[in-house]
Amino acid sequence: MEKIIHITEKFVRDTLGEDTTGHDWHHIERVRKNALCIAKKEKAGDSFLIEMAALLHDIPDAKLNTSKEAGERKLSDFLQEIEIAKEVSSSIKTIIDSVSFKGGNNQKALSMEAQIVQDADRLDAIGAVGIARAFAYGGKKGQPIYDPGLEIRGEMSEVEYRTGKSSSINHFYEKLLKLRDLLNTDTAREMAEERHQMMEQYLHQFFKEWNGQA
């Protein structure tokens, strides 16, 4: 198992090491640490499945590949190469499929492992690091920091969420501020509280400065 983890680490480093959208190796490593910490405190889940899914969760992500199908193929090819049992490979894929926000349209994570990895990934999207990642991704995508003329989107399809026009500040309201209430485990909810407050304080200060009141 340890050898497989090391091989997986190298594969992910090689694949995402140069990413500048906030989905780099350091993000992966934080998600892994969060996931293993949550699993330990909750005394739940299979640690190998959790660690593998945390390491690989961004490999098939459509926004980091030429297409959704290309990403899924990349993940499947790697899992075949390391020759793990089919049921283990299937479990890892199922966990990863439940992680992404998808505009709020994804189904609730079913397994304990999926709940833990989803929570770990969402924790890294909020707080001080989450703020930095939001602006890194928005800039890479060509979005404005803020545009008062762009309305905050409510319910939307996954396609609208991925391709519709938005701003980095709107992203807080369309996703980031929602995440605390979507977490699965008590441990993650506890970890999220300070991070959520940090974002609220940041937005309060942002709009004071934007409106010339600071």
Residue pLDDT, tens place only, 29-41: 999 999 999 999 9
Pick the CATH number of 2-210 from 1.10.3210.50, 3.40.50.720, 3.30.565.10, 3.40.50.300: 1.10.3210.50
The model's pLDDT over 117-145, given as tens digits with 9 standing for 90+, comes to 999 999 999 999 999 999 999 999 999 99
Instruction: Please tell me which residue, 160 or 71, carries the higher pLDDT value.
Output: 71
| 28: amino acid identity, one letter | I
Please say if the pLDDT value at position 103 is more than 60: no
Token pair for residue 209? 């400065």
pLDDT tens digits, 80-97: 999 899 999 999 999 999
Question: CA 181, 170, 208: angle at the middle one, nearest 5?
Answer: 100
The better pLDDT of the pair 117, 67 is held by 117
Check residue 182 and give its pLDDT.
Answer: 95
104-122 burial string, b = 16+ CB within 10 Å, else e? eeeeebebbbbbbbbbbbb
Beta strands in 73-195 (DSSP E): none
Q: Where are the domains of the chain?
A: 2-210
